[in-house]
Chain A
Amino acid sequence: MKMSANDRRLVTIIISAVLFIVGYCLAQELTTARLVIFSVALLCVGAEVFIRAGRNILHGQIFDENFLMSIASICAFILGDYPEATAVMLFYQIGEYFQSRAVNRSRRSISELMDIRPDYANISRDGQLEKVYPDEVHVGDTIIIKPGERVPLDAVVIEGHSSVDSSALTGESLPREVNEGDTLLSGCVNINGLLTAQVTKEFAESTASRILDLVENAGAKKSRSENFITKFARYYTPIVVGIAVLLAVIPPLFVPGELFSDWVYRAMVFLVTSCPCALVISVPLGFFGGIGGASRNGVLVKGGNYLEALANTEIVVFDKTGTLTRGVFRVKEIVPQEMSQQELLRIAAYAESSSNHPISLSLREAWGQEIDLSKIDSVEELAGLGVEAIIDGTKVLAGNEKLMVREQIAMPPITPGSGTIVHLAVADKYAGYILIADELKPDAVEAVSKLKASGIKKTVMLTGDERTIAADVADTVGVDEFYAELLPADKVAKVETLLNSKSSRGKLAFVGDGINDAPVLARADIGIAMGGLGSDAAIEAADVVLMTDEPSKISDAIGISKRTLRIVRQNIVFALAVKLVILLLGAVGIASMWAAVFADVGVALLAILNAMRVLRNPLPRHLRR
């Protein structure tokens, strides 16, 4: 069995520790024996560090931690303090060992969190089931998904029915029923039935691959905190090295009675303490964990910068249709004059039977019965007005108020609710009206109230719809402001006005369905697209993609973002504070090399463990389901 570098490190640590104890127990007088034992112990545990330091110097990289540790222990050794020289190196390597393990552990947890990559596909060839790699399957192939297996590629069910668990993709824990003709997204798990499906997308374009790709590439867009750390390290290291040199040289030169050896030791303590490793590792880890956790909850965040921006959201702007409402029209009210509601609906459905307009579709859906086409003698569409049809030999008019006025149909005064109204006249006599409206999503109200609870200053709704319809929806869901009758270009302009009205640190998020609001998604600080699982366009255009159709996920995403940032800040403050204290103590000679090594590797280890909390429960307690 091949040992990993870290296992080898553990072996050297153990050998060296044993030698260290032996050497420590030896009497002070046995100078040669002590020298030999401690030399071997130091070389055993420190060889790797010395070699790295030497190699990096050859590459022109002088001040890295390997160099610092080497100098520190060699100096201590030359000064005759063998146990300390060995212990410092030993302690450092133990810290490195645990740090490496923690990094690997967190990598594994993150990949487990995103364990949606299918390993194989069952393809049927000549009546035999064959297991193949998913990337060997092509569009049009027939695959079989057994209970308990993961859907390998996006496909359409051609036989069988089952329920599938899409929680790894959407965070939705309720299984979804699938039957013939339904789409299957790769990464879902088939729960009970045997499914035969036809592949609709190549592996690389399938949902699971795309999600993994997005999450992995999210690291490319670094957050401000990450950039801060990179910049910080660039200036910090030379400054610290400069101070250390001064510390080693100035006091012994100018203060009588001060020894070089003392001050060189203090400078070493100073240098070892200063290593910014804790920050360099834990900050990106925190963000990566936050992005992974969000994806587990059905929210794809396309970069650390967006995760960070979400926490500072001040204004959330919703596009109405497809975001707060379903974008599907339904009959809400049927108000006949004399006939029954059912009869009015039947006439409307027949009159509108030849049109594919969403309004007509909703009428036919509400009627719900077969349309007997033989009863329709003629239909004429009147653009911008409605239709005129002859049904069972009777003239029927169905359309807006303008149509009624043009045909001189006397209308009783009515008080319409909000929505689109279809007026009907039978044999030139007013017969009543049907009110059709878009339906609110079940969690639309909750979405807005949760946003307010999480401290969003303003919620705004934009829509191209009529004012009365917009006012009604805005009132029901409880948004602070709404703007109606907007053309797509007006929406961009509105978002720009809103962008100017927020504070400079605050961010504006725009939530749309990603279908025709790409310009607005791009203009907003954070463009959020909904129901992204099906739509490639939405995934492209948006910064954050909600994989389900629930607007309430927005506040979940903001919650995850805030928690991630809190943990990242804790780490930055904790690491800098510990280091600052030990730097000061080291400079005045109180802190020993032990403290310095703790400030380096110990703090890094603690910061990594803290960052791992992001993964464990990505949602703040009040948002968990």
Chain B
Amino acid sequence: MKKNLRLIGLDCAHCAAKIESAVQALPGVNSANLNFMTGKLTIEGEEDALADIFDHATALVHKYEPDVEVRRA
């Protein structure tokens, strides 16, 4: 199961790398990939874990980059 999020206003490549590895470490997530150029965060994981992955991931993004807006895509 795959989910995509868009991170709008992400302009720090360093933070992108941090967010990517933090999301990867979330329980139930098999892989996370953040494309810095498009701002697209693709998360692959177990069905039930992904149900509230949006909230978890958004919280993580805001932890590192409070100004970034997270949208479902």
User: Among the listed stretches A212-220, A336-344, A445-453, A553-561, which one makes contact with chain B, having 4 or more residues with CB under 8 Å of it?
Assistant: A212-220
B72 within 8 A of A: no
B17 within 8 A of A: yes
Q: Which of A279-287, A396-404, A573-581 contacts B (4 or more CB under 8 A)?
A: A279-287
Contact of A216 among B14, B35, B67 (CB under 8 A): B35
With A65-B14, A280-B13: A107-B35 Cβ-Cβ less than 8 Å: no
B58 contacts chain A at the CB level, 8 A cutoff? no
User: Closest residue of chain A to B68, judged by CB?
Assistant: A5
Answer whether residue B54 sits at the interface, using C-beta atoms and an 8 A cutoff.
no
Total number of B residues with any Cβ neighbor in A under 8 Å: 18
B11 on the interface (CB 8 Å rule)?
yes
How far is the CB of A478 from the nearest CB of chain B, in Å?
A: 39
List B contacts of A4 (CB < 8 A): 9
Partner pick for A107 among B13, B37, B42, B63, CB 8 A cutoff? B37
Q: Which of B1-48 contact A (CB under 8 A)?
A: 9, 11, 13-14, 17-18, 33, 35-40, 42
Q: Is the CB of B37 within 8 A of A110?
A: yes
Residue of A nearest to B38 (CB): A216
Q: Decide: A280 near B14, CB < 8 A? Known: A4-B9, A217-B42.
A: yes
Residues of B within 8 A of A5 (CB): 9, 67
**A220, B67: Cβ atoms under 8 Å?**
no
Inter-chain contact B17/A280, CB cutoff 8 Å: yes
In the assembly, what is the distance between CA of A479 and CA of B13, in Å? 45
Shortest beta-carbon distance, B13 to chain A, in Å?
4
Specify which chain A residues have a CB less than 8 angstroms from the CB of B18 in the assembled complex.
61
- B35 is contacted by which of A6, A56, A220, A233 (Cβ under 8 Å)? A220
Q: Are B40 and A216 in contact (CB under 8 A)?
A: yes
* A358 to B: closest C-beta gap in Å: 41
Residue A277 is within 8 A (CB to CB) of chain B in the complex: yes
Q: Is the interface of B mostly helix, strand, loop or mixed?
A: mixed
**For the complex, is A103 an interface residue (Cβ under 8 Å from B)?**
yes
Beta-carbon nearest neighbor of B33 in chain A:
A220
Which residue of the partner chain, among B11, B17, B35, B63, contacts A219 with CB atoms under 8 Å?
B35
Q: When the two chains form the complex, which single residue of A55, A59, A104, A284 contacts B13, counting CB atoms closer than 8 Å?
A: A284
| Residues of chain B with a CB closer than 8 A to A55's CB | 66
Q: Which residues of A in the span 5-47 have a Cβ within 8 Å of any Cβ on B?
A: 5-6
| Residue contact B11 to A100, C-beta cutoff 8 Å | yes
Q: Is the pair B14, A285 in contact by a Cβ cutoff of 8 Å?
A: no
Closest chain A CB from B35 CB (angstroms) = 4
With A219-B38, A220-B33, A220-B42 in contact, is A281–B17 under 8 Å at CB? Answer: no
Question: Interface 1/0s, chain B 41-73, versus A by CB < 8 A?
Answer: 010000000000000000000011011000000
Check if A394 is an interface residue, CB within 8 A of chain B: no
Contacts of B9 in A (CB 8 A): 4-5
Residues of A within 8 Å of B, CB-based: how many?
Answer: 28
Whether the pair A6, B11 counts as a contact (CB closer than 8 A) is: yes
| Chain A residues closer than 8 Å to B67, beta-carbon distance | 5
In the bound complex, what is the Cα–Cα distance between A100 and B68 (angstroms)?
14
Closest to B9 in A: A5
Q: Give chain B residues whose Cβ lies under 8 Å from the Cβ of A6.
A: 11
A110 to B36 alpha-carbon distance, docked (Å): 12
A288 touches B13 (CB 8 A): no
What 0/1 pattern do residues 278 to 310 of A give for CB contact below 8 A with B? 001100110010000000000000000000000
CA distance A106 to B14 in the complex (A): 17
In the complex, what distance in Å separates the CA atom of A100 from the CA atom of B33? 21
Nearest CB of chain B from residue A49's CB, rounded to whole Å: 12
Measured CB to CB, the closest approach of chain B to A87, in angstroms, equals 23
Contacts of A285 in B (CB 8 A): 36-37
What residues of chain B lie closer than 8 Å to A233, measured between beta carbons? 17
The listed residue with most A CB atoms (<10 A of its CB), out of B35, B38, B40, B63, is B38
Is there an interface contact between B17 and A59, defined as CB atoms closer than 8 Å? no
The reply on A230 being an interface residue by CB < 8 A is yes
Q: Which residue of chain B lies nearest to A58 when distances are taken between CB atoms in the complex?
A: B63
Q: How far is the CA of A280 from the CA of B9 in the complex (A)?
A: 17
Query: Are the CB atoms of A219 and B14 closer together than 8 Å?
Result: no
Cα A210 to Cα B64 with chains together (Å): 32
- CB closest chain-A residue, reference B37: A288
Which residues of chain B are near A217, meaning CB under 8 Å? 35, 42
Chain A positions 252 through 289: 1 when the CB is less than 8 Å from some CB of chain B, otherwise 0: 00000000000000000000000001001100110010
Min distance, Cβ B56 to any Cβ of chain A, angstroms:
15
Any chain B CB within 8 A of the CB of A381? no
Selected from A64, A65, A103, A230, the residue in CB contact (under 8 A) with B11 is A103
Chain B residues contacting A110 (CB-CB under 8 Å) are 37
Chain A residues 57-114 with CB under 8 Å of chain B are 59, 61, 64-65, 99-100, 103-104, 106-107, 110
Using CB atoms, name the residue of chain A closest to B63.
A59
Nearest CB of chain B from residue A296's CB, rounded to whole Å? 15
Docked CA distance A219–B38 (Å): 9
If A5-B67, A61-B18 touch, whether A281 touches B13 (CB-CB below 8 Å) is yes
Q: Residue on B with the closest CB to A106?
A: B37
Q: How far is the CA of A615 from the CA of B11 in the complex (A)?
A: 19
B13/A230 in contact, CB under 8 A: no
User: What is the distance, in angstroms, from A536's C-beta to the closest C-beta of chain B?
Assistant: 18
Instruction: Give the residue among B11, B18, B63 with the most A Cβ atoms within 10 A.
Output: B11
> From A284, which residue of chain B is reached at the shortest CB distance?
B36
Instruction: Knowing that A61-B18, A64-B14, A216-B38 touch, tell me 20 more A-B residue pairs with CB under 8 angstroms.
Output: A4-B9, A55-B66, A56-B64, A59-B63, A59-B64, A65-B14, A100-B11, A110-B37, A217-B42, A219-B35, A219-B36, A219-B38, A220-B33, A230-B17, A280-B14, A280-B17, A281-B13, A284-B37, A285-B36, A285-B37
19 A-B pairs within 8 Å (CB atoms) are namely A55-B66, A56-B64, A59-B63, A59-B64, A65-B14, A99-B11, A110-B37, A216-B40, A219-B33, A219-B36, A219-B38, A220-B33, A277-B13, A280-B13, A280-B17, A284-B13, A284-B36, A285-B36, A288-B37
List 7 tightest A-B contacts by C-beta distance, closest first. Answer: A219-B35, A281-B13, A288-B37, A280-B13, A220-B33, A100-B11, A103-B11
